Amino acid sequence: MLIKRPARIKPSEITDEALYRDRRRFLELSSKSLLALGAAAVVGCDSNEAVAVSQAPPASAGALRSLGALKSSAFSTSEPSNSFDDISSYNNFYEFGTRKTDPANNSGSLRTDPWSIEIEGAVEKPGRIALEDLMKPHALEERIYRLRCVEAWSMVVPWVGIPLGDVLKRFKPTSNAKYVEFTTLYDPEQMPGQDIPVLDWPYVEGLRIDEAVHPLTILGVGLYGKVLPNQCGAPIRLVVPWKYGFKSIKSIVKIRLLEREPKTSWNVAGPREYGFYANVNPDVDHPRWSQNRERRIGSLLKQKTLPFNGYADDVASLYRGMDLRKFF
């Protein structure tokens, strides 16, 4: 992903000097060990990065709480899932650093219990709700989905979650609810990467309401039958499998229903690179990454990327009549 300079510097204006100054600012901001990760002030991710990048001990699956019985889902793919180690040691979670291994190394500072979510905006029943109360009425489902990052790598992840549409219904969206905005926790003490201005924190993402209530869209609370490890977005994240991974915002603390399209972090950082819709589309390249093929983590060969990440039969109709080159 592009790493943004401080807000006043446009991506197109980046010069060596800006890079130099940003490095200085970065070092000044840093008294924490995380900030020793010099990579943060330079362009971050590289689709050619080695697969087995992690020298860090990944979170151990054994230490995580089991979520008990799960409903299976017809939406699950039969493709083999990536291992727990792949999924928990190769992450994008810039609140903990910009290298793929940083989230696993640095996210121990995130406190996920107690956790609550605020539901705001165009709903009849707004309010703050504790995570356990949010989850209580819903049966947990296993959803084995493909995850496709705009950096042209992919994984298969056995998520545990609940349909977002079922959750939203309980708060009674009004007829003004046309979009949904999601916000990640903002707390630089717990998320030390937020001291570095790579994005305008907190991380914000959004969906159109029909995308949000689509049965494929879930709030993820676990993987491999256990609660989410911190680096994967604990305790609750969005999972929208037909969109690039950056739409799947982690560690959500606020959900706001809106009449207008919300501003979203990556779109603000690089509007020509990251659209609001971000549907996986092999025909529309990112300026730095062809979207035609992808590298499945753990596999040596690249494979073709499918429109809507292989979920076209389920979701293409949501975009009928839209120019997907314009609304990328």
Residues that bind ligand MTE (CB under 6 A): 1, 91-95, 147, 149, 184, 203, 232-233, 245-246, 248-251
Structure tokens at 123: 């709903």
The rounded distance, in Å, linking the Cα atoms of 35 and 94 is 12
Pairing mode of beta strands 293-296, 204-208: unpaired
Nearer to ligand MTE, 84 or 203 (CB): 203
User: CB of residue 237 vs ligand MTE: minimum separation in angstroms?
Assistant: 7
Q: What is the DSSP letter of 284?
A: S
Residue 95, marked binder: yes
Nearer to ligand MTE, 106 or 248 (CB): 248
User: CB of residue 320 vs ligand MTE: minimum separation in angstroms?
Assistant: 27
User: CB of residue 124 vs ligand MTE: minimum separation in angstroms?
Assistant: 28
Residue 149, marked binder: yes
Structure tokens at 132: 């356990």
User: CB of residue 176 vs ligand MTE: minimum separation in angstroms?
Assistant: 26
Task: Characterize 205-241 residue by residue with b for buried, 16 or more Cβ atoms within 10 angstroms of its Cβ, and e for exposed.
Answer: bbbbbebbbbebbbbbbbbbbbbbbbbbbbbbbbbbb
Residue 184, marked binder: yes
Residue 249, marked binder: yes
Closest CB to ligand MTE belongs to which residue? 245
Residue 116, marked binder: no
The rounded distance, in Å, linking the Cα atoms of 205 and 228 is 20
Residue 144, marked binder: no
The rounded distance, in Å, linking the Cα atoms of 199 and 214 is 28
The rounded distance, in Å, linking the Cα atoms of 126 and 120 is 5
Nearer to ligand MTE, 92 or 123 (CB): 92
Nearer to ligand MTE, 122 or 232 (CB): 232
User: CB of residue 311 vs ligand MTE: minimum separation in angstroms?
Assistant: 17
The rounded distance, in Å, linking the Cα atoms of 274 and 101 is 23
Cα 5 from chain centroid?
20
| Positive or negative torsion for Cα 81, 82, 85, 88 | negative
Nearer to ligand MTE, 91 or 267 (CB): 91
Annotated binding site for Mo-molybdopterin: 91, 94-95, 149, 184, 237, 248-250
